Amino acid sequence: MQARRNALLLLHLVVFIWGFTGIFGKLIQQSTLHLVYTRTVIGMLGLALAAWWMRHTISPRTPDLKHYLLTGVIITGHWITFYGAIKISTASLAAACLSTSTVFTALLEPFWFKRKIRAYEVVLGTVVVAALFLIFGLETKYRLGIAVATLSALLSAWFNVINAKLVQRDNAIRIGFYEMSAVVLVIGGWLAVQGDIPPPLWELPTSDIIYQLLLGFVCTSFAFVAGIAVMRQLSPFTVMLTVNLEPVYTILIALLIWGAEEKLSTGSYVGIALILLSLFVNGWLQRKRDAREVVEPDPLTQG
């Protein structure tokens, strides 16, 4: 119980930090691909330093290397679509749409973990989708941004479910290092073909340097690995449920910084509130289910 409680506390810290990723994404002047590439290179360096400091191996000699690299391709798509959605809409809206990742996790987790789909997750997922359509219909000028952000949520759910399996067999730092390596290879290769390699960090505006260092070392190196590590104690659905507090932090921070520019319609806030209410109801139901399973373990989840 103590280990699970500590994992939850660490996860909440990570989610608070992730609340700043959308903010930094809007503040940084680089294009979407340049932003993701620079962030990931810094994140990789941070993980290499962490591995050296903590004496964790990042040797490529692991049978799961191909899985890390393929998962990194999914992460590439997630980051590109997330920051792309921010650039064409608002940080608040992109973060709010990311809440739908819980719906996708509810559908993907049973497949990966060989369990039945739970009826209450489907019902709550339907409420979340309805809330998203409410936001989608009212924020007409940002429909493309909403669609792109929802795709980002699907990719986020996908790679988190995969990482929940991978972290049972390896340390989070090595997993994160090679997943980020894949991001760098994919985006770097594309930019090289286009003749559009971003300038070195030190040639960027001072504000971009500061935001990229925070985004790379704090929001990526630390938060990304911690987000994987907690899955040793927490299920993917619990993780994604908690991650959905990220848009709350992002919206509050964005309103403080940009004010009217980040404000949405009243109906959109109702939609966001429905999403968050569904998430908390799900958390309550899951705690009741976990309590029952302690008394009478579910044979479908054994082994």
pLDDT at 303: 38
Rounded Cα distance between 93 and 202, Å, is 31
**94 pLDDT above the threshold of 90:** no
Q: 28 and 139 in contact (C-beta within 8 Å)?
A: no
Q: Is residue 301 part of a domain?
A: no
Which residues does 180 contact at the CB level (< 8 Å), separation at least 6?
A: 40, 43, 44, 47, 72, 75, 220, 224
303 located within any domain: no
pLDDT at 105: 80
Residue 273 lies in a domain: yes
Mean pLDDT, residues 83-91 = 85
Highest mean pLDDT among 48-57, 222-231, 252-261, 263-272: 48-57
Residue 297 lies in a domain: no
Residue 13 domain-assigned (yes or no): yes
User: Residue 110 falls within a domain, yes or no?
Assistant: yes
The Cα diameter of the chain in Å comes to 61
Domain count, the chain: 1
Give me the domain span that covers residue 205.
2-291
Which regions of the chain does DSSP assign to beta strands (E)? none
pLDDT band at 261 (very low <50, low <70, confident <90, very high): low
On whether residue 67 sits in a domain, the answer given is yes
129 vs 237: CA distance, rounded Å: 17
Instruction: Say if CB 39 and CB 201 are below 8 A apart.
Output: no
| 103 part of a folded domain | yes
From residue 37, alpha-carbon distances to 26, 156, 188 in Å are 15, 18, 7
